[in-house]
Chain A
Amino acid sequence: MADAPVLTASGISLTIGQATLLNHVDLAITSGEMVAIVGPNGAGKSTLLRLLSADLRASRGAITLKGRDLHAWSPAELAMRRAMLSQHVSVSFPFTVEEVVQMGRGNLPLASAQSLVDAAIDEVGLGDFRHRELPTLSGGEQQRAHFARILVQLACGEAAHGPGILLLDEPTSSLDLRHQIELVEISRQRARNGTAVIAVLHDLNLAVRFADRIIVMRNGAVAAEGTPAETITSDVIRRVFDIDVVVARTDDGAPYLLPQMMQQIAASTSVVG
């Protein structure tokens, strides 16, 4: 039972007008797994995530969540089982950080969710900003506030229905290096407790650190899939991103890559040194 996938997509495609945004994608993710979706701009990464979150409906194919058709769940039931952090969320009204994070609790009374709200705010490091109005904060701080809101939603749902799914659409796009790593740590901690995590990431090196499994997309289809060591190879990168890179290995064997130009600079400095 532990290995039964919580989320499966079989042969999903999305066609809008003449354009095929997604072409026959299969996917299965099990509880506690961390999956990164990478690929060039316009490869269909965000589209795939929006299909998995039930935001969009596939033209063909089916998605099941915990064994039941994704669109058979009501919005409220769905929210208790999957939490989704969107790429850009703009708030035009002066809600404070705490008020935004509290929104993650759904229909739960405030009293029973406040400890989760406090914990999430501290976890993303916004304790000093909890009474600040969101529109006055920087892009990265706002992104962390929304991440805290999603964590509260996930925690409320998991308390009632067991491990759920966390979907993250470029969660690190406005974050500095330290907060990128912290976000990965927080996500990994959730995965250890059984949450299935799927993130669209741009930074391939971060994806290697983040994921158990990487799905590389190109032109609306899966171009490569597997462990970081299997997918982040100079061959795959050249095929998908159309650039030459050098893939090196860290001491623990994880791949990391340097674009060619950067590599040449690094080589020349080492010669001088």
Chain B
Amino acid sequence: MSAADAKLTAFVRTTGRVRRPATVIVLCGLLAALLLTVLLAATVGAAGIPLTRLPAALGLTAADPANPFAARDQLILWSIRIPRIAIAAMIGGMLGAAGAIMQGLFRNPLADPALVGVSSGGAFAAAGAIVISDSRFAHYVTFLQPFLLPLAAFIGSLLTTIILYRISSRSGRTSIALFLLAGIAIAAIANAGIGLLVFIADDRQLRDITFWLLGSLSGATWSKAATIAPMLALGLIGMFFTSRGLDVLILGESEAFHSGVDVERLKRICIVLISIMTGAAVSVCGVIGFVGIVVPHLLRLMIGPGHRLLLPASVGLGASLLVGADTLARTIVAPAEMPIGILTAAVGAPIFLLILLRQRGLVGL
């Protein structure tokens, strides 16, 4: 082999190589990021609790008798801030994971539950539930009360996802352009429905419904956290069973079938998982967009597209991101609060455009 040949071989060997970081490092890094964000979120806010007072406020150490704020700190932390952080983390995790699963299912990095109307479908159903449960039919559904909103949001999201899937895929192929356009149409229909409900709602219902249109975590309570925790658990368990199938599904439905995946079953599980997690998020804090796009996209750049790691990592990064965004939302215009949906859109929409530009050939527009 000549020197030139050897040089060329060395060049080929090293160009374009991709190195993936170790799984343990990725997961530990994400966990550390989440802990840091949570610590920050716990200490800042309308009533600041400095780090030195945090252990006492958490009840880890005896309260310093010289600290006049001890009782106030504890109250704020345990009844307002911690449930809010917990909900933000759970919802961020679910939105990130729902986005990643949806992108795998549709083989399309532009999929996001909020963007294509799945969140709007859930919000429409939840708003409908508010109006109905407040009307003369109320006594039929009282037994469902604590679960009414999550259940309605889940059903709304599920129907929307199924309709979207039916429209955009034909004989095992999913058209990305058709998928995005159908998503826009479905979101428009759901939003028109929400508009109609706003029109017929009374003042008190209106206040509740408006909440879904903006997206906010300000109504966070322990009971809401308890309602969505099982949904997150279901999502985490379900992820475990879908990750291998989603990898092979990227090659196409036929290829997934040839390599032993029960494709129909996989698709059903994915649709239910997306709907459970999106529905749970919507029922507590309304429509928060772009988390589902940004989180898996950033992660794919760092750790690659394999779902075994991508799905749990999306939960971790989504959680950190939303806790951070919510902390920002409640501090930058304090004592007022900025709707968190505005923040996530401000960061997420440009990233979405960036992906769109890079994938222009893929979309086929």
Residues of A at the B interface (CB closer than 8 Å) are 50, 53-55, 74-80, 83-84, 86, 89-96, 99-100, 103-104, 106-107, 128-129, 131-133, 136, 146, 149, 153
Contact = CB atoms under 8 A, between A and B. Distances in A.
23 contacts: A55-B258, A75-B263, A76-B260, A79-B259, A84-B258, A86-B254, A86-B258, A90-B252, A92-B250, A92-B359, A93-B107, A93-B305, A94-B18, A95-B247, A96-B20, A103-B247, A103-B251, A106-B259, A128-B13, A129-B12, A131-B19, A136-B16, A153-B259
B18 A92 contact: no
Q: On chain B, which size bracket covers the interface? A: 20 to 34
A95 B262 contact: no
A124 to B, nearest CB: 16
A132 B247 CA distance: 17
Interface string B14-30: 00111110000000000
Contacts of B78: none
Contacts of A74: 262
Contacts of B306: 95, 99
A95 B254 contact: no
A139 to B, nearest CB: 15
Contacts of A136: 16
Residues of B contacting A: mostly: loop
The 10 lowest CB-CB distance pairs between A and B, nearest first, are A79-B260, A93-B305, A76-B260, A131-B17, A84-B258, A132-B16, A75-B262, A106-B260, A128-B13, A93-B250
B310 to A, nearest CB: 10
Contacts of B12: 128-129
Interface in B87-132: 107-109
B45 interface: no
Interface in B138-167: none
B300 A107 contact: no
A76 B108 CA distance: 26
Nearest to A157: B260
B208 interface: no
A74 B300 CA distance: 32
Contacts of A107: 244, 260
B257 interface: yes
Interface of B: 9, 12-13, 16-20, 107-109, 244, 247-248, 250-252, 254-255, 257-263, 300, 304-306, 359, 362
Contacts of B362: 92
Contact of B107 (A83, A92, A103, A146): A92
B18 A78 contact: no
A41 to B, nearest CB: 20
A89 B258 CA distance: 12
A75 B261 contact: yes
B16 A133 contact: yes
B142 to A, nearest CB: 45
A25 B350 CA distance: 56
Given A95-B305, A131-B17, 11 more contacts: A74-B262, A75-B262, A75-B263, A76-B260, A79-B258, A86-B258, A89-B252, A92-B362, A95-B306, A103-B251, A132-B16
A89 B251 contact: yes
A84 to B, nearest CB: 4
B347 to A, nearest CB: 23
Nearest to A78: B260
Nearest to B262: A75
B167 to A, nearest CB: 20
Nearest to B261: A75
B17 A132 contact: yes
Nearest to B12: A128
A100 B108 CA distance: 18
A94 B9 contact: no
